[in-house]
A = this chain, B = another copy of it.
């Protein structure tokens, strides 16, 4: 049987031909709007093929067996079930406790709350709360039996959304993915993208490493601090190349910089409500703060022979290349204007440490760039190349993403080649406690509200105003900020306010928050006029509604 016939037979067998065919055709004809999307489609496409082929194998086995006993039919654990509802990974991740305990296996979503007391491995199962059990089963292979599959399927409640399905097979690209803290809110599993839950954002000024939000474009590469090198290339008359080991970099004066890193798409889900945008539907959890340690990139560049007074610098860029590669073998890369790294006060780090520990695998081990005040995409992880050039990075991530347009630009009219790259971030803020839809108990007619605020480019958060009456009146919140020199306020601010309810008997209240930074910029009131196709820079007032219990 040819592969094609197997494929078609499988499709027919699974009665999905009508559904799958247009999808495959759509994949083939897709005009990719950006590379990330293409990349995601690539994996998705492969995932379809893999899933179908597995199905074919199973079906073929079944056909060949001509099994007489229906009970003995092989269980295809985790296969799609068109009769069941679809869940996002984010929704599943909320069911992470003994009251409601869901897990994922391939396409399957399972509510195993009632099974917990019977788990032969005891509390070990808690590690998979709201998450996929597949990586654990890959380690603990005893689960992979028809009996366990059958038991698992008896708890089946739904299907995982296609975009969130991870391939935990022995695919060489993904096999080295690190263990992730189960408290992270998984947005997509492959590449791994996860928010820090809001209650943990406000619990620490420096986010614990394991709770720092994760935004990957590709699989995490496997590197070692002993063998890792960074190649510095200066393009020009007689292009020169210098190779530096981690030990070389650690010989420079070690500097610490406290900086929040925020994805340019943080809070995209709120902008998405105005009109759909393309991109991961981040809520307010794509920002965390840490104290980073490493060498000043400026020091390294000077040691490599760059002259900060060279007039050519104005036209030059510094391109960072990561060790992470996409399915076509292309390395992640982006760039900054050279002077942003070479200016006398530039605080760009080649960082080896995060909150006093070696960088975790998910955050660039053993070496990453930290560009404080810039969107996190510029802080390239797993750094292996630095190139000084008159050109910006040619990569798709640099050229076709992280650029801003006005609300009238469409994917057809937006010209990425003339739009300025996003090298800094506007002032923003969010409520982390309570959350939209929460029920809060009023205390003597008051409620407590907490959250964060941040502004890029080294601007300090000077004021956070909170309103419980749609902006008719505003109260200043108490701020916790990091002391830093002017124009170097790279950390976030945490804030809290205890506010009197405007109507002591109302059953709901709207909470609005806006921040003002040291340039006295403040947030736009609504998303309408900052809306953009990619859903980045989504910094309008955070507006939520909560229920009040009296």
In residues 492-541 of chain A, which contact B (Cβ within 8 Å)?
514, 516, 518-526, 528-530, 537
B425→A519 contact, CB < 8 A: yes
B343→A486 contact, CB < 8 A: yes
From known contacts A406-B463, A406-B474, A462-B420, infer whether A427 and B514 are also in contact, taking CB-CB under 8 Å: no
Q: A520 to chain B: which residues have CB within 8 Å? A: 404, 422, 424-426, 456, 537
Cβ of A212 within 8 Å of any chain B Cβ, yes or no, is no
> What is the total number of copies of this protein in its complex?
2
Cβ of A386 within 8 Å of any chain B Cβ, yes or no, is no
A343→B519 contact, CB < 8 A: no
Q: A406 to chain B: which residues have CB within 8 Å? A: 463, 465, 474, 476
From known contacts A345-B343, A474-B407, A476-B406, infer whether A420 and B518 are also in contact, taking CB-CB under 8 Å: yes
Q: A465 to chain B: which residues have CB within 8 Å? A: 406
Complex Cα gap A439–B23 (Å): 55
From known contacts A345-B343, A345-B345, A407-B474, infer whether A521 and B487 are also in contact, taking CB-CB under 8 Å: no
- For A375, the closest partner residue in chain B by CB is B520
B529→A339 contact, CB < 8 A: no
B521→A474 contact, CB < 8 A: no
A522→B519 contact, CB < 8 A: no
| Distance (whole angstroms) from the CB of A500 to the closest CB of chain B | 13
Complex Cα gap A463–B419 (Å): 9
A457-B487, A457-B519, A514-B529 given; name 8 further pairs at CB < 8 Å: A314-B485, A345-B345, A406-B463, A406-B474, A425-B519, A455-B519, A520-B537, A525-B525
Q: Which of B475, B518, B528 contacts A471 (CB 8 A)?
A: B528
Q: A475 to chain B: which residues have CB within 8 Å? A: 408
Complex Cα gap A525–B540 (Å): 11
Cβ of A340 within 8 Å of any chain B Cβ, yes or no, is yes
Q: A473 to chain B: which residues have CB within 8 Å? A: 407-408
Cβ of A1 within 8 Å of any chain B Cβ, yes or no, is no
A529→B471 contact, CB < 8 A: yes
From known contacts A474-B408, A516-B404, A520-B426, infer whether A487 and B485 are also in contact, taking CB-CB under 8 Å: no
Complex Cα gap A315–B512 (Å): 34
- For A340, the closest partner residue in chain B by CB is B486
15 contacts between A and B (CB under 8 A): A340-B486, A343-B345, A343-B485, A343-B486, A406-B476, A420-B463, A424-B520, A425-B519, A426-B521, A426-B522, A427-B521, A459-B519, A471-B528, A519-B519, A520-B537
Cβ of A483 within 8 Å of any chain B Cβ, yes or no, is yes
B518→A521 contact, CB < 8 A: no
Cβ of A337 within 8 Å of any chain B Cβ, yes or no, is yes
| Distance (whole angstroms) from the CB of A355 to the closest CB of chain B | 23
